[in-house]
Structure 1
Amino acid sequence: MKRALIVTGLLLASTAWGQETMPGKGIYTCTTADGRKLTSDRPIPECTAREQRVLNADGSQRSTLPPFLSPEERAAKEAADRRAAADRIAQQDAVRRDRTLMQRYPTEAAHQRARNLALDDANKAMRISERRIKDLGQERKPLLDEAEFYKGKPLPGKLKQALDANDAAVEAQQVLIENQKAEIVRINTRFDAELARLKKLWAGAAPGSMPPLEDAPKTALPASPSASKR
């Protein structure tokens, strides 16, 4: 089996190497695993697993032949090459992201302004919901006053429907408020992580030298109060 692999390797090598394998076109030299230095006018069978130097007639180096790899070794090398390429791309992306972050926020004050702007929308949405709940409370008062006339009796369908709609609207606004609170936590978490990274970059850390920033996980929407009552 080993002999067959060597023969196959030589055939593949002779095809791949083309003109380099023609007699008189170069001098092949290598060092075997046991330290022997071999020289030939063609690829050396004992060195198919080792690098071979190709010399000109004057002894200057013309090229280098890489070791012959078995199909399994070749597949492993290709996989390793792909991983290395992916790592290089990831590193380049990390450097680019850090440089972009520093360009966007050259100072802590600039970063704080961006945080405030991001929080502003969430705070505004929360205040709108709070005002809406207050308005719904005002709308509910006459409904409750009317319901006083029906103590101990079933409420008229229209009145009951109006009270139920008011309850549902309040619950919807409460859910929106909880969502905005979760969004504020997410925003602050992201900006805290960015600021910690920026402080290191401002202090001289090389872009791309730190683990990547992870996106803050989105908080699950809270269940509506009516759902919890069921």
Structure 2
Amino acid sequence: MLSKKLVCVVLSVTVGIATSAITAVAVFFQSAATAQTFFSCTDEQGRQIRSDRPIAECVDRNQNELSSTGMVRKIRGPTLTVHERNALDEKEKIAADVNARVNEEKRLSRALLLRYPSRAVHDKERGLALTSLAEKNQALQKIISTLNEQRKKLDKEFEFYAQDKSKAPIALKHQLENVESSLTLQKRYLSEQELERTRINSRFDLELTKLTPQWSVVAPNISQQSEKK
């Protein structure tokens, strides 16, 4: 009785192992069939070619990558030469640079609109910048006026040595040199301030050309939102 039970157990285990092995083999072959890839194309003579690897006769044209069931997984483009690949890379790089510049310009435009939401705000900012510059110019003008007065006094003292300026005291000569040097420096600063005034106006004029179209879009939206409230 015990022997019969043992035989049944052994047979059951054997059948189970055999079934598992058959299942594993079936799965393996199914996976292999699924993973298998074929390629097809039409060459320059119009012939339909099919292969289990990329087709050399069709390197200059599209090739269909097929599954084992014949479904198109993807389409492979022509194989590029080194020169063609370099040209394509350069074209893509230029396109990426242009796209980056466009995106950066959009970002700057949004930031500019946030800073100056209206023409009034922009005009006020320009006015403040020019007022600050005008105050600096006034300060420079006062310094130049003071230096000119000092120069007149020194020139008057030099009149005593008009016939022979070499006899003028060294201290007096140094004072005159210092005043003339300071005058030259302050006048240069004043000239630079005028250039700064031009730069400020140019900057705000350029911003105005960018902001005006945006204000024309934003203003109606703000008006509509106010009406809804």
Could you state the TM-score of these two structures normalised by the residue count of structure 2? 0.69
**Structure 2 residue 101 is the aligned partner of structure 1 residue 84:** no
Residue 67 of structure 1: aligned partner: 78
Aligned ranges 1:160-171 → 2 under 5 Å: 160-171=173-184
Aligned ranges 1:191-202 → 2 under 5 Å: 191-202=204-215
Residue 172 of structure 1: aligned partner: 185
Residue 8 of structure 1: aligned partner: none
Higher relative contact order (CA 8 A, sep 6+): 1
Deviation at 1:125, TM superposition (A): 2.2
Could you state the TM-score of these two structures normalised by the residue count of structure 1? 0.69
Q: Secondary structure at the match of 1:203?
A: helix
Residue 136 of structure 1: aligned partner: 147
Cα distance in 1 for partners of 2:67, 2:73 equals 6
Deviation at 1:138, TM superposition (A): 2.6
Residue 213 of structure 1: aligned partner: none
Deviation at 1:132, TM superposition (A): 0.2
Seen in structure 2, the aligned counterparts of structure 1 residues 204 and 75 have a Cα distance that, compared at 3 Å, is same
5+ residue gaps, structure 2, are 1-32, 219-229
Q: Secondary structure at the match of 2:172?
A: helix
Q: Is the 8 A contact 1:23 1:42 kept in 2?
A: no
Cα distance in 2 for partners of 1:78, 1:104 equals 39
CA-based RMSD: 2.7
Deviation at 1:108, TM superposition (A): 1.0
**Structure 2 residue 180 is the aligned partner of structure 1 residue 182:** no
Cα distance in 1 for partners of 2:56, 2:110 equals 51
Aligned ranges 1:205-224 → 2 under 5 Å: none
Identity over aligned residues, as a percent? 33
Flag the structure with larger Rg: 2
Seen in structure 2, the aligned counterparts of structure 1 residues 182 and 38 have a Cα distance that, compared at 3 Å, is same
Q: 25-34 or 170-179: which moved more?
A: 25-34
Q: Is the 8 A contact 1:47 1:67 kept in 2?
A: yes
Seen in structure 2, the aligned counterparts of structure 1 residues 85 and 34 have a Cα distance that, compared at 3 Å, is farther
Deviation at 1:170, TM superposition (A): 1.1
Cα distance in 1 for partners of 2:99, 2:44 equals 32
Deviation at 1:122, TM superposition (A): 2.6
Runs of 4+ in 1 over 6 A off after TM superposition: none
Q: Is the 8 A contact 1:24 1:41 kept in 2?
A: no
Aligned ranges 1:97-112 → 2 under 5 Å: 97-112=108-123
Residue 11 of structure 1: aligned partner: none
Deviation at 1:130, TM superposition (A): 0.5
Cα distance in 2 for partners of 1:177, 1:35 equals 81
Cα distance in 2 for partners of 1:33, 1:69 equals 17
Q: 91-100 or 113-122: which moved more?
A: 113-122
